[in-house]
Every structure is written in C-alpha cells, then in structure tokens.
Amino acid sequence: MKKDFKEILQFYMVFFKIGLLTIGGGYAMLPMIEKEIVEKHGWSTDEEVMDSYALAQSIPGVIAVNTATLLGIKWKGFWGAVAASLGVISPSIIIITIIAVFFTKFREVSEVANAFRGIRIAVLALLILSIYKMIQKIVHDLWGIFLATLSFISVLIVGISPVWVIIGATILSIAIYYRKEKNNDNS
C-alpha cells in the first residue's frame, strides 16, 4: 500500500508539472506527456497516449483533464485517474487564484504585458510541434493526407462546423475500411 501511494503521488507530481508548464491547453501538453509518461517513466506507450488523446477530444470536457484521467485509469485505475486529474488541474487553480488577487494591480505594468506576449509565442510553438507530431503518427497514406487536407479546407476556408467534418470523416473512414476489408476477403 505504501509503494502504491508513493507511485500515485509521483504520478500526481508528474501531471502537476505538466499542468504547470503547458500553458495553452491540451494540444500544448502532448509533447510533455510523451516525454514524461512514455520516455522518462515508461508508464504508457506512444500508441496509448495517442489513443487516450484522441478519445479525450471526442468526449465532453477539457482535453488536458480528459487525457490525464484516461492515462491514469490505464496506469493505476481509479486512484491513477484521481492523481492525474488533480495533478493537471492543481496548477491552474493555484495560478488563477493568485492572478485573481494580484492581476488588477499589475495588468498595466509593461513587463507583465511583455511576459504574456512571450508566453503566447511559446504556446504557438508548442501547438505547432503537437500538430506536426500528430500528423506524423496519424497520416500514413494518401487517404489520410486527402482527408486531413479536405477537413482543413472545410473548416477554415468553407466554414463548415468541425462537428460535421468529424462525423463525415468518420463515416468516410469506416466505409473505406470496410471496402478494403471486403477487397482483401475477395483476394
């Protein structure tokens, strides 16, 4: 029991660090999750992280918390989920409380404004890195490239709701999968 508590506390601390250092939400946290959870501690595989991340995006709630919860469940069940979820949200709660108390006094200070500009640039870099890694892991063939490009154009240029794009991409992917399976069965 003592060993389990230490492991769960360590899991909490890792997700606390992830929550503290990944300003910008779920997309920005993906590289840190891979580094900490997969590479450094070996608590999960790249595939499990990507599966949890994909599922976290499709269920209601904050991506960062959903991903942490799913990875926690896989690793240590209920207590792993509690530790990961609390770990990833604790820094936000602490920081928001501090900001709420002091922000009105310091928002006009040029150093504070410049710090926020720098943070935005760092978040953008993390988002670009996350998108690049997701594309590398998810898009494996011409169909994937076509679907990603069509989805991008549909949402950003045509203005179609991402919900409809996700539903359409799911239906098309299932249809193509079954068509490939049917062709493989006939060969």
What is the block-wise mean pLDDT of the chain (187 residues), using blocks of 10 residues?
82 92 74 88 87 84 87 90 93 85 74 82 85 79 82 92 88 82 74
Pairwise CA distance, residues 132 & 134, whole Å:
6
Q: Which of 68, 78, 55 is nearest to 166 (CA)?
A: 55
pLDDT number for residue 1: 60
pLDDT number for residue 177: 77
pLDDT number for residue 109: 78
pLDDT number for residue 157: 93
Write down the domain spans for the chain. 2-138, 140-187
Enumerate residues 6+ apart whose C-beta is below 8 A from 127.
24, 27, 28
- Our CA angle for 162, 166, 170, nearest 5°, is 170
pLDDT number for residue 4: 83
